[in-house]
Amino acid sequence: MTAVADTVGPHIDLTAKRGWRSIKSAIMTGLMVASLAAVVIPLVAVIWSVAARGLAVAFQSFPDFFAKEIPVVARRPGPGMGPAIVGTLLSTGAATLIAVPLGVLGAVYLHEYGKDNRFARLVRFMGTVMTGVPSIVMGLFVYVVWTLQFGYSAFGGALALACLMLPVVIGASEQMLKLVPIHLREAAYALGTTKSRTILTVVLPAALPGIVSGALLAVARAAGETAPLLFAVGAATEYNLSLFGEANTALSVQIFANANSSFVAAQERAWGAALTLVLLTFLVTLVARIFTARVASQR
Amino acid sequence: MLDLRGHHAHADRAFRFAAIGAAGLVLLILGMIAVTMTNRALPVFRHMGLEFFTAIRWSPPDSLFGALPFIWGTLFTAAIAVVLAVPISLGVALFITQVAPPWLKRPLVYLVDLLAVVPSVVFGLWGVLVLSNYFSLGRSFLTAGVILAIMIIPIITSLSREVIETTPTTDKEGALALGATRWEMIGAAVLPHSAGGLVGAVMLGLGRAMGETIAAALVIGSALGQITLNPFAPGNSMPAVIANEWGEADTLHKSALIALAVALFVITIVVNLIATAIVQRSMKKSRGT
């Protein structure tokens, strides 16, 4: 019997009392349930706090909070977060337009051209490493190469967010390209289609729902980022619809600034902004999940 | 001879080069981060020398920049976060893969992922206005560690889950057929098989915890010169200092903050390199068998 147990790995003492062994197993299962609770409790607590404190602020005399400009004097009570919402949408939107096409193109190289050659392996490896680069480092990097020359703007923030999104989009898109059956490509080649046309008209459309899902998850993460925006975007209190040239702001930056404030009015605005940001990121994530479900049902 | 490619060849080649360029962007950005930021950090290294990493006093008005307390704070809070997050993540990953009925798996995965969707600044806001007030933790290393733990649980859980799911069913059924209980089966078949990948997952979590800025900046307490093992003491970490002091920094001070970012970049890159290598090797090994 010991010989059999040895091939499995660590020794299991099957001669011990069955009762104690199943109690031990039940205790460990209980601990697993407890750790699940340890995840659910903070999640519920955070969402409950944000909802309880944010709803009152954000929906008092609707739609003032979402439309009015940010009070210049922090201790003055009252709405709004309009410019921050616009700023978040501008930076995140521009970052998406930069990072998603480049990321998909990079994934196309990795899966359709490079495959397992040395360069592709290096890029794949460093891409995974790049997802772990702290977002504040990306923020300072963009400060050094962009903001120092061109000043505060929503575009600087977009550049920093795009740097964060790029490796995520590459990784997710490559996974989706792997799911496209090889016979689709072969059928296109058999018709005399060039490789680039095959990729653009056959492979990418087939992988599109999955790529959209991966890109949206990256967008949701980027929209919530604060650190990359601190050094590049500035802290405007008025609406700024231009992408370049002038200081802008963002929901996350406003939450950070107001959470540090000792004024109740500022803290209330932080909760309202937090609710807005959480709703925004959850919404984007939900849409991503719908696309994921579509991919799963297609297969 | 029939040349079906003909005049499309140029477009084909251009597309290929564009794709190579996009992939190479990853390397370009990482290289540029290293070069441009080190360049900006040079003034403070000229001013402080290597004492930047060993001195304890950080006093911008006196042009004294000793980063050791912040390096300590970063490592200490990240360690607290990992100690708290690892057992919980492992428990959840084991529950999802080994215990939960099939219909429950996907909702649970989404639930854990939902934690990753909550922006870090919202965790910070909750930490500073709720956690530190109502649970009388104050602003301290421990408060920062708790918030960081919550934030790295999703990544450690999802990576552990992927690693654990590669355990061959035959191994698990073999253990069960020998009369092992579920826990004994996990100990005999699942954990030995996944050990390498789990170590990698924990290290990736560690890397995230060290780089996480905003939540830590809000709850860590911004105390100077704290090198202590007391988790209830207020302290500071590298990313938190950068975020909190940037607004009022002059040129040399900014250079010092950028130097902190370079140090953070190097530390997280090293941790991530090792972690990624471990994860990739263990994934390859488990696919091979």
Give the pLDDT mean for A39-67: 87
% of chain B exceeding 70 in pLDDT: 96
% of chain A exceeding 70 in pLDDT: 94
Contact B190, B167 (CB under 8 A): yes
- How many helices and strands, by DSSP H and E, does chain B display? 13, 2
Give the pLDDT mean for B80-88: 96
pLDDT per position as a tens digit, B138-184 = 889 999 999 999 999 999 999 999 989 988 999 999 999 988 899 99
Give the pLDDT mean for A112-140: 92
pLDDT at B4: 52
Closest CA to B52 of B34, B37, B65, B36: B65
Q: List B64's β-bridge partners, or say none.
A: B59
- How many helices and strands, by DSSP H and E, does chain A display? 14, 0
Q: Cβ–Cβ contacts within 10 Å for residue A4, how many?
A: 12
Give the pLDDT mean for A80-91: 90
Which residues of chain B neighbour A250 with C-beta distances below 8 Å? none
pLDDT at A235: 80
% of chain B exceeding 90 in pLDDT: 56
pLDDT at B6: 54
Vertex B245: Cα angle to A225 and B48 (nearest 5)? 120
- Residue A3 above 70 pLDDT? no
Most distant CA pair in chain A, distance: 78
What does the alpha-carbon distance between residue B195 and residue B189 come to, in Å, rounded to a whole number? 11
Over chain B, what is the mean pLDDT? 89
What does the alpha-carbon distance between residue B113 and residue A46 come to, in Å, rounded to a whole number? 15
Q: How confident is the model at residue A4 (pLDDT cuts 50, 70, 90)?
A: very low
What does the alpha-carbon distance between residue A235 and residue A280 come to, in Å, rounded to a whole number? 21
pLDDT at A273: 92
When scoring A4, A6, A31, A46 by the number of chain B Cβ atoms within 10 A, the one with the most, hence best to mutate, is: A46
Of A12, A32, A49, Cβ closest to residue B94: A32
Contact A104, A173 (CB under 8 A): yes
Contact A273, A258 (CB under 8 A): yes
Those of residues 175-234 in A touching chain B at CB distance below 8 A are 192, 194-197, 199-200, 220-221, 223-227, 230-231
Size of interface A-B (CB pairs under 8 A): 294
